[in-house]
Amino acid sequence: MTTLDWLVIALYFGLLLALTWWVIRKNKDTADDYFLAGRGLGWLIVGASIFASNIGSEHLVGLAGSGATSGVALAHYELHAWCLLVLGWVLVPFYIRSRVFTMPEFLERRFSPAARWVLSIISLVAYVLTKIAVGIFAGGIVFGTLLPEVQLTIGETTINSFWLGSVLVIGLTGLYTVLGGMRAVAYTEAVQTAVLVLGSLLLTVFGLAKLGGWAGLRAALEPDMFNLWKPLIPAGVEGTWAPVKDAGRMAWYFNTNYPWLGMLFCAPIIGLWYWCTDQYIVQRALGAPNEREARRGTIFAAFLKLLPVFIFIIPGMIAIALARSGQVPGLGVLVDAEGKTATEAAQGAFPLLVQHVMPPGLRGVVVAGLLAALMSSLAGVFNACSTLFTMDLYKKLHPNASQHQLVWTGRVATTVMVLIGLAWIPVIQGARGLYEYLQGVQAYLAPPIFAVFFLGVFIKRLNAAGCLAALVAGFALGVFRLLVDTPVTLRMAGYEAGYPAGSLFWIVNNIYFQYYSLFIFLVAVVVMVGVSYMTEPPPDAQLRDLTYATVTEDHRRESRASWNRWDVASSGLVMLLILCAYVYFNG
């Protein structure tokens, strides 16, 4: 890092602080303004904010690492951009009309207060255990790789770059999130999206230039690295439906064995849950003034979501190609003595490429992009947690709370999330097993949420009893799997070798995680439908405008007027680009 790089980074932080100050001066002391930016976010801000919230430092670490180890295999997840179109065209009309603050609040409107309580508590716990912890861990890897020499010595205590970087970014992110609320988060995320995309594109361009262009990259790596499908079929199980036991089944970003059956049926469930029903993402669309702006924001985000394949995965592939060629000695740590990818070291592929390929000044732009990724994802989860706690828990317990009290509670809740983030640092520092474990948590918690939201808007006969039963049954199965996996995955004392072969816990622990996730989804669907049809149907008044069958004619006309042929054409172009990616990366 040169002086010029540090000046670029200082300029980036100065821009964020100036923007935050402008937002604070503009904010009003109301819940609408603090949690949803006064419902005045335009489509450009909505789309950029959705993308920035999704792309955290774990993407830079994980996707580049997967590119180095298995090529484009994990592009399947990034090509889930079509899920954003489902959000914009299928669910946004219901969310915008209902004028809700949170996803659990929508479930209360459709089903019952009990469903809201259950989803709120589960979401809060999951955010604290997964999104905050994983974001900090990946951010620590970035700082440790880029600035290993940076230390702070206080007496006999030495604080390394992992701690310094994590504390600094968490502190700054928490500051503008606490003071500025959703508007500060959304506007800073728009800036961070531009910095992140620009920096990552520059890295891809300079990396390819070292290799002699795209043709040079193709020539340097084996063809399977450019095949989306072959890595999904592990050797020995071709043509079978057998569950796959894989030693790295929790390693979402580093595992090369992803059975096509799981990717085909399970991955879309996780994708639709995340993009269409998760407060962390949908809150940006809720901040739009109307259905048109929200939908166009999701379409714009879908276009942006196509970029990670080329700005995160491809740089990982470039890094391993340069390491094998010996052109950049500093990247030699990515390969072993035989020239094969060193899986553990691959997680540092992105920051290592930045360190050894980018020229001074532009290196600062890319590092600013890395910081943007970490800050935007943390800001998103801090804001989502404070909204869930304030609107779903505090306001329910204090229905007469003033607007000022709600905003104050939101700020306190955000502060608590920041402190929890700081408390996580010593727990996760160097805990690779914990990182991999946390990546699998959503696979066990998402299926029942996906089921109740999508079935709820499409089938009006489903009632509150069915919804609650599905949530409880699904979460129980998910928590059971997590309790079984925890001691084995984290290598707790006495569980290093796993459970006795053939025992119930051994069977549960050895079912491939995507297949178990699909099992939870099927159980949730059966329970929801079965219980609903065995009990009384919901009253018609409760369903008004909350299912496709009960939307009023006036609202149908309003919805139709909110889109035109350009919206349709843009959505069609997203689908065409996804199809082109699948065709190109097919061998």
Cβ–Cβ under 8 Å, residues 171 and 425: no
* DSSP codes of every residue in 46-80: HHHHHHHHH--HHHHHHHHHHHHHHGGGGHHHHTT
Q: Is the pLDDT of residue 24 over 60?
A: yes
Q: Determine which of 221-225, 242-246, 394-398 has the lowest per-residue pLDDT on average.
A: 242-246
pLDDT value, residue 353? 87
At residue 259 the predicted structure's pLDDT band, cuts being 50, 70 and 90, is: low
| Closest alpha carbon to 353 in 305, 252, 362, 344 | 362
CATH for the stretch 11-233+257-430: 1.20.1730.10
pLDDT value, residue 587? 60
219-242 pLDDT per residue, tens = 888 888 888 766 555 555 554 444
Spans of all domains in the chain: 11-233+257-430, 431-551
Cβ–Cβ under 8 Å, residues 272 and 86: yes
549-585 pLDDT per residue, tens = 999 999 999 999 999 999 999 999 999 999 999 888 8
Half-sphere exposure of 149 (CA within 13 A, CB side): 1
Q: Is the pLDDT of residue 199 over 60?
A: yes
Task: Return the bridge partners of 586, or none.
Answer: 227
pLDDT value, residue 425? 66
Half-sphere exposure of 199 (CA within 13 A, CB side): 30
Q: Is the pLDDT of residue 32 over 80?
A: yes
Q: Is the pLDDT of residue 504 over 70?
A: yes
CB contact set of 257 (below 8 Å; sequence gap of 6+): 231, 232, 234, 244, 246, 248
pLDDT value, residue 314? 92
| Closest alpha carbon to 481 in 526, 518, 452, 450 | 518
Q: Is the pLDDT of residue 159 over 80?
A: no
Q: How far apart are the C-alpha atoms of 149 and 173, rounded to whole Å?
A: 24
Cβ–Cβ under 8 Å, residues 227 and 585: yes
| Max mean pLDDT range (27-36, 47-56, 423-432, 546-555) | 546-555
CB burial of 16-35 (b: ≥16 within 10 Å; e: otherwise) equals: beebbeebeeebeeebbbbb
At residue 74 the predicted structure's pLDDT band, cuts being 50, 70 and 90, is: confident
462 burial level (CB within 10 Å; 0-12, 13-18, 19+): buried
User: What is the Cα 10 distance to its own chain's centre?
Assistant: 27
pLDDT: is 535 or 489 the higher one? 535
Q: Is the pLDDT of residue 214 over 50?
A: yes
Mean pLDDT of the chain: 83
Token pair in block for residue 256: 């090369």
Cβ–Cβ under 8 Å, residues 145 and 348: yes
CB atoms within 10 A of CB 580: 11
Q: Is the pLDDT of residue 435 over 60?
A: no
Q: Determine which of 268-277, 283-292, 440-449 has the lowest per-residue pLDDT on average.
A: 440-449
CB burial of 100-126 (b: ≥16 within 10 Å; e: otherwise) equals: bbbbbbbbbbbbbebbbbbbbebbbeb
Q: Is the pLDDT of residue 344 over 80?
A: no
pLDDT value, residue 231? 54
Token pair in block for residue 2: 């040169």
Start-end of H helices in 42-160: 43-54, 57-70, 75-78, 82-86, 92-98, 103-110, 113-126, 133-146
Half-sphere exposure of 94 (CA within 13 A, CB side): 29
Q: Is the pLDDT of residue 143 over 90?
A: no
CB contact set of 289 (below 8 Å; sequence gap of 6+): 39, 40, 41
What is the rounded average pLDDT of the residues 28-44? 87
What's the whole-model pTM score? 0.87
pLDDT value, residue 248? 37
| Closest alpha carbon to 442 in 517, 382, 374 | 517
Token pair in block for residue 236: 């020995």
pLDDT value, residue 361? 85
At residue 112 the predicted structure's pLDDT band, cuts being 50, 70 and 90, is: very high
- CA distances to 144, 323, 327, 353 from 336, in Å: 21, 10, 16, 17
Q: What percent of the chain has pLDDT over 90?
A: 36
Rounded to a whole number of angstroms, the CA Rg of the chain reads 23
CB contact set of 473 (below 8 Å; sequence gap of 6+): 448, 523, 524, 527
pLDDT value, residue 25? 81
Q: How far apart are the C-alpha atoms of 308 and 36, rounded to whole Å?
A: 27
Q: Is the pLDDT of residue 505 over 70?
A: yes
Token pair in block for residue 509: 């622990």
What is the rounded average pLDDT of the residues 494-502? 79
Token pair in block for residue 341: 């990818």
pLDDT: is 164 or 390 the higher one? 390
